[in-house]
Structure 1
Amino acid sequence: MSLCLLKRNPTQQAISMKLPILISLPSLFIQNVLALASSSTYDFIIVGAGTSGLAIANRLSADPSVTVAVIEPGTDERDNPLVTDPTKFGQSFGTDIDWQYRVSGDQGDERQLVMRQGKAWGGTSVLNGMTYVRGEASAINAWETLGNLEIRETGNTNWSWSWSSLLPYFLISENYTIPRADQLAAGATYELQHHGFDGSVNVGYTSGLKNGSFAGPVMNAWKEMGLAHNPDLNRGDLVGFGMGPQTLISEENVRCDASRAYYLPVEARLNLEIISGTVKRIIWSPVQNQQDNFVAEGVEYIAPNSTASNLFARREVILSAGAVRTPPILEASGVGNSQLLTSLGIETVIDIPGVGENLVGQTGHQFTYSGILEPAASAYHTFLSVVDLYGKDGADAIEKSAREKIAAWGDDAAANASGTNYTHLLEIQCDLLFKQRIAAAEVLTIVVEGLLLSQYWILQPFSRGSVHLRSASAADINDPLITPHYLSNPFDLATVIAAGKFVRKFWQSTSIQGYVNATLSPTSDELPANATDAQWEAYLQSTFSPSTRSMGTAAMAPRNLNGVVDPELRVYGTRNVRVIDASVLPLQTSGHVTATLYALAEKAADIIAKAL
């Protein structure tokens, strides 16, 4: 990649040139100019050393003439066994590398819910389940249906967002390890044409996966339930069952998080630096070329010793702080819903009501049994369509009911977003579920010592939440107000109930029930065998846990449809601020988000290079 950069005057010279016009500028811009100090200047400032942030940093710094700074409050955990050892998944929860964000529950849920997110180089890729399953082709194509149809042209390239345009970036990010013969016998399958072999992210199966008593009964049970085997969960079509690969170095059995994939191999580059700190806000230039076309000079951040410092960008500021942290940073910078910003005492720079809205979250649920199947080092993924869950006639009836209610659901969501438009988005989602029959729910089947587990969740929730700055205090960047409204939409609740019933039938199927000794959770008192939907609802509402897979809070969509960034991932109303993380994904993809985020970052690097 060749990035030809235009060299500018040093920051201090720029300040002296701008001082004569200060008298006529709003107070916010006066504050910004006075904040310019003898701080470092880079071509690109990347906020967040997470999944997308480090991928972008790697690609941009490949040109030695380009300087890149990444600002990250987390730490280097390359030698932390809770990160590197895949068998220790879950043991990092509640430690110093977990943000443990508090989540505001809806009325009737008095539990203190916690959202797990990674606080380390690599972001949430250091503590997630390492699953590498791309989104569905139809779900990604819907990004264009929403309005991101080749709107902006850079050079000779139209930047469209579709499965076919993103697939090359899935492939160039991936370094796939073909399963061994014993891993194939244990249930791993693949189709060669869907994988890349020269990328930065190691993808494969754990070295501990070997043939045993696990694969046969599980596969036969799902077939008995009427489901087909999916030979490769990364082909863009998820419905069915299969054993998905993980982001790990197979033979060494080491987690391949974003830091190990994208930063550690290039950390010796003199033009790439990770700076410890928490970004408080974007510093805006006091000189605007056009109305509503703002230029970021850099960022103000809080160093570990609690002092405020500044970094300046010759080229761009890129927010890659994630779906939970990016919106509060925008709001602290004066970008967001003007009514909310005014209530927080923040001067509005750009009024974008969609900032922090459209939070798409997932709830996790689990059934646990004691049994005699041998432990397996990997899990089976089962993706269920609405027809799998409800039958053809049931799905048709539910679709009819949903179509009648979408306008009301959109109005409810819009009320939370101060008038932004959700109805079109929900209509697209309805088409995906009922017309294109993408996956509506996922079940993860796991066997550990003496335990048979099914974890499950819905994949296309209609419920929408929000994440906002709690106050104008810099400390509240680390404590955002997260209101997911989990399972608030009746369709979501009905679907998770249907998924739970499907899981119960799976463990009662003739192919696998002989391996089950007893039900451990939920007990018969918690959820009777003949439980009513009301009992199901009460149980699920009181036991779910938030997923790490949040997205949508700075959506790539037209501005009048709740959008925050354009198809080049540039924040509306700015010239040089982009968002490259899960917050730009306007809809759930049905897959696991990590693979899609790596492809997003790879494509974004190309977009930036073409724009220079």
Structure 2
Amino acid sequence: MKTLAVTSLLLLLLFAGESLCAPPAADYLIIGGGTAGLVLANRLSSNPSVTVTVIEPGGDERRNPNVSGTDKFSQAFNTPIDWNYTTVPQPRANNRSLTLHQGKAWGGTSTINGMTYIRGDARVFDVWEGLGNLGWSWKDLFPYFLKAENYTIPTATQVAAGTTYRQGNHGFSGLLRVGYTSALRNGSFAPLIMGTWEDMGLGKNGDLNAGDVRGYGMGPQTLGRADSEEVRWDAARGYYHPIEGRENLKMVRGTVRRVLWREDGGGSGKGRLLVAKGVEFVNGEGVVERMEATREVIVSAGGVRSPLVLEASGIGNPRILDLLGIETRVNLPGVGENLGGQSVHIMVLSGEMESSASAYHTYVTAADLFGDSLDKVKNATRKSLPDWARTMADVSKGALSAQALEEQFRLQYELIFQHNVSVAEVITVSAPGGILASNYYVVLPFSRGSVHLGDLDKIDRPVIDPSIFSSDFDITVTTAIGRVVQKFWLSGRIRPLVTGQLTPDVGVLPENATDAQWLAHFRQSLDMAAHPRGSAAMMRRELGGVVDPELRVYGTANVRVVDASVIPMPISGHMSATVYAVAERGADIIKRTSYGGHP
């Protein structure tokens, strides 16, 4: 009878989905094998005396042509390696739900993005220190941009086609290949593009990665040659494949449900820090397992998923956690808030022009956009800051204070109107078949949204609300940059080669369109860029911060977040370049301040 009872108990536990294997352990458990997670895995496991395990729901996609192909951008969208998230209906987008593409693979979103490598304006990074992050200025991050990068100097042909660089701004021995496609050729497209921008008062940028992005240039990409073939250089190819044989490094297929805490690890009381002992995850077969961490748990699940892991672990806003039936272990209302999202827009035309093979990136300042009207926009923006802060604080249901948001908005206002950093970007291409196109968007939007768990057992279905266009400034700048794009194609030296405006139709958006027509077009057609950030922001706790300057989650002793979710402010570049630098610096910080002793 006793044997039968034991057998029954074992079967009961098995069918309940709990693994009966002895729990494995590692010094460092990394939640997420995306862009940042694989940088950390590489750097931390370089010391053979420590063990590192990465838990990642995606798989090895190195042989997937939609990943490796440098001309396959968007081909992986809506496939099994795309999380394909959906936002809640957006009131300022005609109540449409928007799609947010994020990579589900070794390498995360670096496997499906546009491969653009542009860091942004130096002054934007300097503001991070003003939010309480000593040691995170442009000067501090710049060495890590260089450490990550393995830059390929453009050929004479590529220079003739519009590429520019300054050697002192690049690294040449990093693990991330950065360069220009071999398909880039000099032809008639380059002088037309460059001449038209110059006619509009914008000059050529000597190096888009030098800390000042204003002007136009050919954006470098994360690509390189492997086995005589040009391929995408995602985080897996650069940071994981070369060292996947290390005995002290493991990749485990699974989705982390929550961080587990030591029973004697304290709580949310004054002066007491939670100590993580490991994680609970669902493996590739759907079985629940646990794994111990002897030193640290590092959350690197990205701008969407990292705050979800924290909430499921009891770290976040008690109002939200109570509704989910989760015990609050650390009262940290900023978790999931401060989400930065960008609306992206496109104009497509037909024309008689050769393919560009790569994209031109053009950045403009508020002064470029508004000219003589700049003071009017500047004054209106300054007066609106308190109203935007109160509105967004109300939307957060008290998670963020209006005072804290206004402080952040003031710093952003100073960047735009006192330091004249770029506020909008245009990406211009000429594709085969006579297709001409420009994507354009605001790079420093004031709008802030949120991402939260909707159900404890459905971490793959988060509640994402980017609150697109919740700031009037974002609408004003989008309209202004839209007019610049239309003028670019429909005036000057390019105009004779343009045969028609395809998207939007001229009936929707004529050349003399009113502000109301532009806004109606945006509401109906805007999409969301794959650049979520800020949802576990690195800034002072009273501002809504989630991690401190050492990337450690407030109220915990050995849990950190290292990915795009810690980036506290919008950046004027493209997200992946900064994520690599943040992860490289994060690895050094962890080595120096590791819980339980130095690695």
Check conservation: 2:19, 2:287, Cα contact below 8 A: no
Distance in 1, matches of 2:544 and 2:559, equals 18
1:32-71 equivalence runs, <5 A: 38-71=22-55
Is it true that 1:394 corresponds to 2:373 in the alignment?
yes
Shift of 1:303: 1.1
Q: 1:353 aligns with which of 306, 323, 333?
A: 333
Is it true that 1:403 corresponds to 2:382 in the alignment?
yes
Distance in 2, matches of 1:110 and 1:486, equals 11
Structure 1 431/280 Cα, relative in aligned 2: closer, same or farther at 3 Å?
Answer: same
Shift of 1:529: 2.2
Shift of 1:286: 1.1
1:435-474 equivalence runs, <5 A: 435-449=418-432, 450-473=434-457
Structure 1 residues 1-24: Cα deviation after superposition (integer angstroms, max 9, x where no partner): xxxxxxxxxxxxxxxxxxxxxxxx
Q: 1:287 aligns with which of 252, 255, 264?
A: 264
Check conservation: 1:186, 1:210, Cα contact below 8 A: yes
Distance in 1, matches of 2:50 and 2:493, equals 59
Structure 1 residues 439-462: Cα deviation after superposition (integer angstroms, max 9, x where no partner): 100000000111111111110111
Q: 2:303 aligns with which of 315, 323, 332?
A: 323
Distance in 2, matches of 1:293 and 1:37, equals 30
Check conservation: 1:207, 1:252, Cα contact below 8 A: no
AA at the equivalent of 1:178: I
Shift of 1:288: 2.6
What is aligned with 1:28? Answer: none
Structure 1 residues 298-349: Cα deviation after superposition (integer angstroms, max 9, x where no partner): 1000112221101110110000000100011100000000111111111000
Is it true that 1:223 corresponds to 2:198 in the alignment?
yes
AA at the equivalent of 1:349: R
What is aligned with 1:21? Answer: none
Which runs of 5 or more residues in structure 2 are unaligned?
A: 1-17
Structure 1 residues 391-445: Cα deviation after superposition (integer angstroms, max 9, x where no partner): 1x32221111111111111111112231422111111111111111111000000
Shift of 1:105: 2.1
Distance in 1, matches of 2:32 and 2:360, equals 32
Distance in 2, matches of 1:588 and 1:179, equals 29
The TM-score normalised by the length of structure 1 is: 0.91
Distance in 2, matches of 1:253 and 1:544, equals 33
Check conservation: 2:350, 2:498, Cα contact below 8 A: yes
Distance in 2, matches of 1:37 and 1:312, equals 13
AA at the equivalent of 2:130: T
AA at the equivalent of 2:168: Q
Is it true that 1:120 corresponds to 2:95 in the alignment?
no
SS of 1:524's equivalent in the other structure is: coil
SS of 1:440's equivalent in the other structure is: strand
Is it true that 1:296 corresponds to 2:280 in the alignment?
no
Is it true that 1:270 corresponds to 2:247 in the alignment?
yes
Structure 1 residues 530-568: Cα deviation after superposition (integer angstroms, max 9, x where no partner): 211111101011101111011000000000001000000
Check conservation: 2:132, 2:549, Cα contact below 8 A: no
Q: 2:545 aligns with which of 554, 557, 563?
A: 563
Structure 1 residues 230-280: Cα deviation after superposition (integer angstroms, max 9, x where no partner): 010000101111111000005732000000010001011011111000000
Q: 1:413 aligns with which of 380, 387, 392?
A: 392
What is aligned with 2:181? Answer: 206
AA at the equivalent of 2:296: E
AA at the equivalent of 1:191: R
The TM-score normalised by the length of structure 2 is: 0.93
AA at the equivalent of 2:337: E
Q: 1:103 aligns with which of 87, 98, 101?
A: 87
Deviates more, 1:520-529 or 1:459-468: 520-529
Shift of 1:606: 0.8
Deviates more, 1:188-197 or 1:101-110: 101-110
Q: 2:163 aligns with which of 164, 167, 188?
A: 188
Check conservation: 1:105, 1:485, Cα contact below 8 A: no
AA at the equivalent of 1:383: Y
AA at the equivalent of 2:390: D
What is aligned with 1:242? Answer: 217
Distance in 2, matches of 1:147 and 1:73, equals 34
Check conservation: 2:334, 2:399, Cα contact below 8 A: no
Distance in 2, matches of 1:398 and 1:105, equals 29
Q: 1:84 aligns with which of 47, 68, 76?
A: 68
1:120-199 equivalence runs, <5 A: 120-149=105-134, 160-199=135-174
Distance in 2, matches of 1:493 and 1:484, equals 15
Distance in 2, matches of 1:356 and 1:568, equals 19
What is aligned with 2:412? Answer: 429
Distance in 2, matches of 1:263 and 1:371, equals 43
Structure 1 345/218 Cα, relative in aligned 2: closer, same or farther at 3 Å?
Answer: same
Check conservation: 2:344, 2:528, Cα contact below 8 A: yes
Check conservation: 2:359, 2:429, Cα contact below 8 A: yes
Shift of 1:37: 7.1
AA at the equivalent of 2:122: A
1:505-584 equivalence runs, <5 A: 505-584=487-566
Shift of 1:35: 10
Shift of 1:291: 3.9
Distance in 2, matches of 1:37 and 1:572, equals 33
Distance in 1, matches of 2:273 and 2:541, equals 15
Q: 1:336 aligns with which of 291, 312, 316?
A: 316
Taking only aligned residues, the RMSD between alpha carbons, in angstroms, comes to 1.4
Distance in 1, matches of 2:564 and 2:20, equals 31
Shift of 1:110: 3.6
Distance in 1, matches of 2:28 and 2:526, equals 40
Check conservation: 2:40, 2:587, Cα contact below 8 A: yes
Check conservation: 1:36, 1:310, Cα contact below 8 A: no
Distance in 1, matches of 2:220 and 2:367, equals 26
Shift of 1:36: 10
Distance in 2, matches of 1:282 and 1:131, equals 34
Check conservation: 1:221, 1:512, Cα contact below 8 A: yes
SS of 1:487's equivalent in the other structure is: coil
SS of 2:539's equivalent in the other structure is: coil
Distance in 2, matches of 1:517 and 1:145, equals 49
Shift of 1:135: 2.3
Shift of 1:528: 2.2
Distance in 2, matches of 1:472 and 1:247, equals 36
Distance in 1, matches of 2:506 and 2:577, equals 39
Distance in 2, matches of 1:42 and 1:306, equals 22
Structure 1 residues 43-70: Cα deviation after superposition (integer angstroms, max 9, x where no partner): 0000000010000000000011110000
AA at the equivalent of 1:111: R
Distance in 1, matches of 2:493 and 2:211, equals 29
Length, aligned pairs only: 566
Distance in 2, matches of 1:472 and 1:172, equals 39
Distance in 2, matches of 1:318 and 1:416, equals 30
Structure 1 39/461 Cα, relative in aligned 2: closer, same or farther at 3 Å?
Answer: same
Check conservation: 1:292, 1:350, Cα contact below 8 A: no
Check conservation: 1:361, 1:551, Cα contact below 8 A: yes
Structure 1 524/509 Cα, relative in aligned 2: closer, same or farther at 3 Å?
Answer: closer
